[in-house]
Amino acid sequence: MSKLGLIDVIKSVIAAGIGIQSKKNRELDFEHGSLSQYLIVGLIATLLFIITIVFIVSTVTN
């Protein structure tokens, strides 16, 4: 199997982030994934999460 696509990396990061990543998928990520892809997607996902939380809190408090 070749490298994982961007959609696969995004799905994997989201699943790992909310704690539902299966052992099979985690092993597949380590075998075929690229660390740089996971770091970039993970940072973007974290920033989007923080921005969303800030937006929700600021909307509720105003």
Residue ranges covered by each domain of the chain: 6-61
Contact between 47 and 30 under an 8 Å Cβ cutoff? The reply is no
pLDDT tens profile 2-40: 677 888 889 889 988 888 888 888 888 888 878 889 999
DSSP letter for each residue of the chain: --PPPHHHHHHHHHHHHHT---HHHHHHHHHH--HHHHHHHHHHHHHHHHHHHHHHHHHHH-
Q: How far are the Cα atoms of 6, 16, 27 from residue 10, in angstroms, in the given order? A: 6, 10, 16
Report how far residue 42's alpha carbon sits from residue 23's, in angstroms, rounded to the nearest whole number: 19
Provide the whole-model pTM: 0.77
pLDDT at 2: 65
